[in-house]
Structure 1
Amino acid sequence: FEGEEKYLKREALQKLKAELISGNEDFNYQLLTPTSYTGREILELACQLPFNNRWQLLVVEEADRLTLKDEKIIMDYLKNPVNSTCLVLVGERFNPQSRLYKFFKEKDKLVIFYLLREM
């Protein structure tokens, strides 16, 4: 999820969470940031299986601030992701030249939230 419209991003994440996580939120939902978790730690969480649920949802906020090293670790994971993990990378402005941005754009998995404007 990319863009400056925080309200719509938050709404989309809440809908996604409601759809995927039917219970055991403490075990199957994680809100992460690159300042608190390394790419390796995010990878380890992404490789875990959900607890008593079909899905686990990992949301990495400020993902546009990932280091190149952490971005590479996540890119390697995305080549063969765990089917029961929904990994959402959230940021205001990703570098369009980054491998992550190009990957999501190529897979048509990039959702952009533009600022709402009055007409």
Structure 2
Amino acid sequence: MTAFGLAAVVGGMFAVGTFLLLRRDLVRVVWGVTVLSQAANVYLLTMGGIVLGMGETVPVLAHHGGEPPQTADPVVQALVLTAIVISFGMTAFALVLSLRVYEENGSLDLSKLEGDA
């Protein structure tokens, strides 16, 4: 995928996440936060990789000795993996809180919940 394609995917994910974040429904807001966090993860992965020419692959070990092969940065991949796990846990927690709000108020509309505070 080209750099323009990756930028379009990341931009689209940020746009969808922002759109969902601005909705009135609480569940859509939770999904908006989730999409925004995943967009940040995709952005980090695209910035942590390497760019090669067409048809070239990244070998794990090119040769025994000499210059080390070019590979993607493993620290970025570990960071994104940790962020995915944390994001999954926070999404589950936010959805359970949304269920509790619905049980207490009978609605998930945020405009109706504002006056109750």
TM-score (norm 1): 0.28
Larger Rg computed on CA atoms? 2
Greater strand share, structure number:
1
**1 or 2 for the larger relative contact order (CA 8 Å, sep ≥6)?**
1
Greater helix share, structure number:
2
